[in-house]
């Protein structure tokens, strides 16, 4: 990176302000982003990172300030204008067209095909993009059939396909595996070495420390500082994000349940969707992790257990009672709940306000003779908002406009404040900031302490080791090893995962 003061910045922002309905969410943001740098953008949930990214990409119009791109005023400014000037953005919430193929999504809006048939030049271009980024996908696969990690790769390819000189990547790694994150980092470095600029929004401070040249910290819509990464530490960044000299806290202490009482016993569950004969159990008061590489079938095992995907074989026993044919509704009635991985598709209802999203699963609690007692409902939701510091703290807020991390808080709070007997958590802290992560970790520990059986899926091995009493390693939809988190470290677990990879003895999931 060239920090020479005479370099013309790729982006020059002066006093940028953004307000929605009179509420200001970005204030007086002034910064230069240089050609050929990887520039980190960090801050708590709702700090304004995505909003700033969307201003750069032309999706939001700044209500104050000036934006220059390569020395020329960005005006008029909208997504096509931004693209034409070389600024592309990869959104935090994936924006793919589910019914189109990988190739169609990558070239959407810039396609050269006629009558829906890809030109051979495009097929070649896609090959080239996949080779340079290291992400390999089937060009003709329909997007809705692909796991989130693959969809995230499509977003990345899509930005690359636009020959952008400046690429805003808004939390691109949230569902990628360690290996894929490394690939993405390599692709980012290659872009930097070609003189292009990457603006990298991430809650993973290790990644920010490792790959960025400079990093800008936002807090409550204002810019705290832009720093040279090499002169910072992870904890100096955390304090800058949180203010008041706060730092990251360790995992809550693990309480060992007094008695071993099986809450959930699963034998040989298979679904045809990726669960492939998994056998596991979780005792009351226990947190049990499922660790696997992306695509190993962790989520699919959980989905088969709760009945979100119909099980084709296997047995689920809940507190000693065989369960029979599972469905999500029946599972919920019996006290088994799941916080899904894909909050937009499976978790939240985007057309109803925050309050209703929180109380939705519990409406019977709030109704008397079929009439919802809205006072009680609002009281309950208000407590959840406080407990999880959902921002904005507005019961009637439009969930669609909430920052990614705050949506996640809403989704998770609705189940964590219940008293489920068994809870399946799929990536519960994805996209949430250090403060909210701690709240979620404490809530999980408290649930277990109250006697719930917790099955925890997380791509962050550290998180599983930090929270779980026991953990299973998963490959091809089966359990291949059980580990003791107290005596394992991340490197060992990763080595074990790679050792087991593809060794799943059963036939492949169809």
Ligand X SMILES: Nc1ncnc2c1ncn2[C@@H]1O[C@H](COP(=O)(O)OP(=O)(O)OP(=O)(O)O)[C@@H](O)[C@H]1O
Under 8 Å between Cβ of 138 and 102: yes
Shortest approach of Mg ion to residue 50 CB, angstroms?
3
| Residue nearest Mg ion, CB atom distance | 50
391 binds, among Mg ion, ligand X, none (CB under 5 to 8 A by kind): ligand X
Distance in angstroms (rounded) separating the CA atoms of residues 179 and 293: 9
20 binds, among Mg ion, ligand X, none (CB under 5 to 8 A by kind): ligand X
Q: For the chain, what percentages of helix, strand and coil (3-state, to nearest 5) are there?
A: 35, 25, 40
Of residues 340, 345, 262, the one with CA closest to residue 302: 340
406 binds, among Mg ion, ligand X, none (CB under 5 to 8 A by kind): ligand X
- 455 forms beta bridges with 288, 424
277 binds, among ligand X, Mg ion, none (CB under 5 to 8 A by kind): none
Under 8 Å between Cβ of 151 and 344: no
Shortest approach of ligand X to residue 367 CB, angstroms?
29
Closest CB to ligand X among residues 61, 313: 61
Binders in 256-315 for ligand X, by CB under 6 A: none
Query: Phi, psi at residue 352, to the nearest 5°?
Result: -120, 155
12 binds, among ligand X, Mg ion, none (CB under 5 to 8 A by kind): none
**Binding-site residue total for ligand X (CB under 6 A)?**
20
Number of other residues whose CB lies within 10 A of the CB of residue 496 = 17
Binders in 415-444 for ligand X, by CB under 6 A: 433
Closest CB to ligand X among residues 133, 216: 216
Distance in angstroms (rounded) separating the CA atoms of residues 59 and 78: 6
Closest CB to Mg ion among residues 49, 500: 49
Closest CB to ligand X among residues 382, 392: 392
* Binding of Mg ion by 50 (CB under 5 A): yes
105 binds, among Mg ion, ligand X, none (CB under 5 to 8 A by kind): none
Three-state SS for 360-393 is HHHHHHHEECCEECHHHHHHHHHHHHHHCCCCCC
Largest CA distance in the chain: 73
174 binds, among Mg ion, ligand X, none (CB under 5 to 8 A by kind): none
Is the peptide bond between 208 and the residue preceding it cis, with omega within 30 degrees of 0?
A: no
Place of tokens 């009558």: 115
Closest CB to Mg ion among residues 107, 402: 402
**x/- site string to ligand X, residues 61 to 100, per CB under 6 A?**
-------------------------------x--------
Distance in angstroms (rounded) separating the CA atoms of residues 424 and 307: 12
**x/- site string to ligand X, residues 6 to 35, per CB under 6 A?**
--------------x----x----------
Of residues 345, 347, 323, 325, the one with CA closest to residue 335: 323
Closest CB to ligand X among residues 123, 225: 225
**Binding-site residue total for Mg ion (CB under 5 A)?**
5
Alpha carbons within 13 angstroms on the beta-carbon side of residue 396 total 1
Which one of 37, 92, 298, 465 is in contact with Mg ion (CB under 5 A)?
A: 92
* Binding of ligand X by 46 (CB under 6 A): yes
Binders in 372-431 for Mg ion, by CB under 5 A: 403-404
**x/- site string to ligand X, residues 381 to 410, per CB under 6 A?**
----------xx--------xxxxxx----
* Binding of ligand X by 413 (CB under 6 A): no
3-state secondary structure of 145: helix
Place of tokens 């369960």: 323
Query: Phi, psi at residue 207, to the nearest 5°?
Result: -65, -40
* Binding of ligand X by 411 (CB under 6 A): no
The two three-digit tokens of residue 404, written as one number = 């990614």
Distance in angstroms (rounded) separating the CA atoms of residues 324 and 379: 37
The footprint of Mg ion (CB under 5 A) covers 49-50, 92, 403-404
The footprint of ligand X (CB under 6 A) covers 20, 25, 43, 45-51, 92, 391-392, 401-406, 433
């Amino acid at each position: 990176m060239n920090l020479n003061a005479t370099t013309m910045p790729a982006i020059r922002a002066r006093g940028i302000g953004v307000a929605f309905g009179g509420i200001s969410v970005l204030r007086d943001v002034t910064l230069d982003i240089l050609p050929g740098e990887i520039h980190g953008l960090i801050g708590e949930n709702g700090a304004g990172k995505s909003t700033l990214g969307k201003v750069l990409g032309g999706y939001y119009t700044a209500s104050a300030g000036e934006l220059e791109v390569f020395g020329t005023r960005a005006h008029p400014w909208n997504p096509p204008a931004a693209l034409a000037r070389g600024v592309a953005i990869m959104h935090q919430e994936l924006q793919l067209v589910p019914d189109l193929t990988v190739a169609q999504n990558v070239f959407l809006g810039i396609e050269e095909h006629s009558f829906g048939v890809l030109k051979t030049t495009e097929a070649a271009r896609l090959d080239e993009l996949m080779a340079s980024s290291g992400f390999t996908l089937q060009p003709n696969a329909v997007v809705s059939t692909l796991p989130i990690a693959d969809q995230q790769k499509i977003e990345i390819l899509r930005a690359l396909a636009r020959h952008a000189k400046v690429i805003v990547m808004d939390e691109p790694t949230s569902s990628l595996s360690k290996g894929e994150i490394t690939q993405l980092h390599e692709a980012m470095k290659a872009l930097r070495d070609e003189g292009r600029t990457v603006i990298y929004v991430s809650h993973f401070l290790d990644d920010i420390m490792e790959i960025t040249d400079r990093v800008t910290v936002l807090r409550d819509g204002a810019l705290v500082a832009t720093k040279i990464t090499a002169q910072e530490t992870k904890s100096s960044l955390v304090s800058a994000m949180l203010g008041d000299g706060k730092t990251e806290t360790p995992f809550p202490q693990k309480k060992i349940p007094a008695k071993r009482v099986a809450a959930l016993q699963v034998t040989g569950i298979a679904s045809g969707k990726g669960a492939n004969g998994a056998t596991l159990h979780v005792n009351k008061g226990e947190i049990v992790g499922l660790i696997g590489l992306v695509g190993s079938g962790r989520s699919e095992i959980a989905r088969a257990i709760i009945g979100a995907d119909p099980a084709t074989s296997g047995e689920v026993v809940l507190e000693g009672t065989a369960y029979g044919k599972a469905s999500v509704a029946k599972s919920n009635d019996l006290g088994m709940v799941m916080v899904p991985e894909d909050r937009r598709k499976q978790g939240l209802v985007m057309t109803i306000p925050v309050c209703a999203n929180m109380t939705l699963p519990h409406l019977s609690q709030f109704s008397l003779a079929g009439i919802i007692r809205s006072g009680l409902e609002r009281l309950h939701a208000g407590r959840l908002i406080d407990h999880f510091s959902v921002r904005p703290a507005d019961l009637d807020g439009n969930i669609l406009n909430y920052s990614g991390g705050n949506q996640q808080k809403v989704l998770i709070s609705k189940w964590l404040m219940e008293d489920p007997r068994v809870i399946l958590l799929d990536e519960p802290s994805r996209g949430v900031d250090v403060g909210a992560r701690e709240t979620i970790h404490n809530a999980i520990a408290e649930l277990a302490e109250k006697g719930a059986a917790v099955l925890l899926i997380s791509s962050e091995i550290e998180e599983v080791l930090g929270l779980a009493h026991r953990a299973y390693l998963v490959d091809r939809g089966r359990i291949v090893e059980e580990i003791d988190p107290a005596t394992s470290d991340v490197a060992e677990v990763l080595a074990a995962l790679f050792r087991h990879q593809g060794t799943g003895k059963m036939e492949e999931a169809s």
